[in-house]
Structure 1
């Protein structure tokens, strides 16, 4: 059914307004992702320093093997979002957490959730988080969130050795060719390779330390935990904004295509109305030409 000119104009104005909103959100997503990406690169460089510290400690001490408790309490920290317009970002991660939980043989792990919408996605998978934290509102808030999570991990260990706690980080990271993938990373207990001594040191200056070995190891472990949580949070924010950016680009393209169709219809209707008006003028003019003219003066009757 053909639409009127007024209806098409209103439709075109609405689509133009929607396109402006989508373009603004796309721009904001691109702008917001940049600080989180810089934070992720910065913490990665810091984390490499911590890993070198582990290697130096293991070389100096000859390597260690931390005892692992088979009945250690398990905690999964899930990094999601409480904002929309990012597709199935939370749902795909919640499915992975469900699969990871089902694969656990040492009891049911506890859940710590970041993001209100992530909590809803976990609830849909019959998973109930013990607590839900707010995601960082800016890159400066990542340190605040990481510190809060580290404090909760310390509280979970009841002040004892962290070898009695199992912690897994679940987040979405960047993949190849601009893709994203939900992953799980074991944080505690520590990977055995971190404390294995190497036979050779890659520098002439051999590592050494003066502080107590227990205090140094404890400091390295906590720095490792903080850096890992910080990076997971930053990576989650980067991928969230990247996913929103991709969806906004698709939406903008769809709106542009729809605007093109409506603009074509609008031009067609306008041309049809102009043609009809011209035909009315021409038909009226032709009718006036064929109408016999009346004489100006009547002949006098004889």
Structure 2
């Protein structure tokens, strides 16, 4: 009985310690998600401003002649796919779910979210963000060309986005394409985004070639002041394109980090509930053992007194 009491006491202490760790992880996940969510909202506003810039450019210059995506995609020799994963654990099958989606895409299977991307060019070049995502991709036979470190904080998203823009430009130049050609290379972003009912949704977004509607000339300009610019058209378009790439990558990275912390928060909440339930069971067992031990000692005293 003494060993059982000692065992239950140790188990209670262990569960109490685990609950403290789980509660700390849950708190950190909630705290960490907030800056990433604010960054995602801010970059969405900036991206909207860039879209207005493209519209102003097209209204002032005239619509660019961009071939339809299906025709242009047949001329693309390679495609680059940037996969945003996690470098930390305790977030469920976060990396594995997205890796499976990328694997399906690499096999040319029809994707639920991006029908534009279902006819992929060959071969597929992967850039991976996160060591654990790299492991998940390699387990499915996909070998990334490079593995980048995910942002450690919201301030690091800009660093990552700048590096990826540079790598995309290098990829385009390696194919013998001109960086000023907006429809010259194919680039996609694979990341996990938030879905309804606190779920997460693996998502593949087409980044390049640009959607022709982005450079379509508006029928009317909703302002009394018509747009104008002083820079050479090629210089302005190149700057708009580079900033659009940056904003899109920044937004995908921020959304991926928000979803990762949300997944970890949900998992920690489940773990905390499970630990609490087990802790209550152990407390009940401990109280029962203690009461039984006390009762046995009292009975020994009473029987000894009667004798």
Q: Secondary structure at the match of 2:63?
A: coil
1:106-133 Cα offsets, whole Å, 9 max, x none, are 2121000000000011011110100000
1:130-178 Cα offsets, whole Å, 9 max, x none, are 0000001111110000000000011111161343211000000111222
Q: 1:105 to 1:151 in 2, by over 3 A?
A: closer
Aligned partners of 2:236, 2:92: CA distance in 1, in Å?
A: 44
Answer yes or no: is 1:37 the counterpart of 2:37: yes
Answer yes or no: is 1:202 the counterpart of 2:228: no
Aligned partners of 1:218, 1:137: CA distance in 2, in Å?
A: 30
Aligned partners of 1:60, 1:98: CA distance in 2, in Å?
A: 43
Q: Is the 8 A contact 1:115 1:134 kept in 2?
A: yes
Match of 2:135 in 1: 120
Deviation beyond 3 Å, 4+ runs, structure 1: none
Q: Secondary structure at the match of 1:157?
A: helix
Q: Is the 8 A contact 2:76 2:186 kept in 1?
A: no
For residue 102 of structure 2, the aligned residue among 97, 100, 104 is 97
RMSD between superposed Cα atoms in Å: 1.6
Aligned partners of 1:72, 1:61: CA distance in 2, in Å?
A: 30
Which 10-residue stretch deviates more, 159-168 or 64-73?
64-73
Answer yes or no: is 1:178 the counterpart of 2:198: yes
Aligned partners of 1:117, 1:10: CA distance in 2, in Å?
A: 34
Shift of 1:2: 11
Match of 2:178 in 1: 160
Aligned partners of 2:13, 2:247: CA distance in 1, in Å?
A: 49
Q: 1:88 to 1:212 in 2, by over 3 A?
A: same
For residue 80 of structure 2, the aligned residue among 75, 83, 89 is 75
Q: Secondary structure at the match of 1:66?
A: coil
Aligned partners of 1:254, 1:105: CA distance in 2, in Å?
A: 44
Aligned partners of 1:224, 1:72: CA distance in 2, in Å?
A: 23
Q: Is the 8 A contact 1:8 1:262 kept in 2?
A: yes
1:232-268 Cα offsets, whole Å, 9 max, x none, are 0111111111101110110010000000000000000
1:214-238 Cα offsets, whole Å, 9 max, x none, are 1111111111000000000111111
Aligned partners of 2:218, 2:106: CA distance in 1, in Å?
A: 35
Answer yes or no: is 1:256 the counterpart of 2:276: yes
For residue 219 of structure 1, the aligned residue among 235, 239, 252 is 239
Aligned partners of 1:140, 1:151: CA distance in 2, in Å?
A: 18
Shift of 1:202: 1.6
Q: 1:182 to 1:3 in 2, by over 3 A?
A: farther
Answer yes or no: is 1:109 the counterpart of 2:124: yes
Match of 1:16 in 2: 16
Q: Is the 8 A contact 1:113 1:132 kept in 2?
A: yes
Which structure: larger Rg? 1
Which runs of 5 or more structure 1 residues have no equivalent in the other structure?
Answer: 288-302
Q: Is the 8 A contact 1:72 1:164 kept in 2?
A: no
